[in-house]
Amino acid sequence: MKLETHDDQLMAMAAFGYCLGRATYIVPVCCEWLRDIWPQLTPASRQNILIDIVIAIQTGRGGHEMDVDEWLALANEVEVSAEEMAAIRQRTSYTGKPWPLKEKP
């Protein structure tokens, strides 16, 4: 699958938004799909996905424990620049909850 247009990015965000917080088979499928398309996502799409994952986990809306584990694995595996991670931290700090992701070197 190629994400070539703005609409493609929007549809990727919509598919992810549908899956986040679900407690079904769709979570691991979505996480694997996101791993595959991650390099094609724009920096803004990547940041928004990770922000949504962090906030969902911080606020207890990430799904069942096994679903949260899937989201955490994805968020900890994908490539993100130090600048992107700093922006994600800043945009999720309002929750006052602990940072759920591993620190990257």
Considering only residues 52 and 1, tell me which one the structure prediction assigns the higher pLDDT.
52
Which residue ranges make up each domain of the chain?
23-93
What proportion of the chain, given as a percentage, has pLDDT over 90?
A: 90
pLDDT of residue 1: 73
Q: How far, in Å, CA of 53 to CA of 71, rounded? A: 7
Q: What are phi and psi of 37, to 5 degrees?
A: -95, -5
pLDDT of residue 65: 95
pLDDT of residue 105: 66
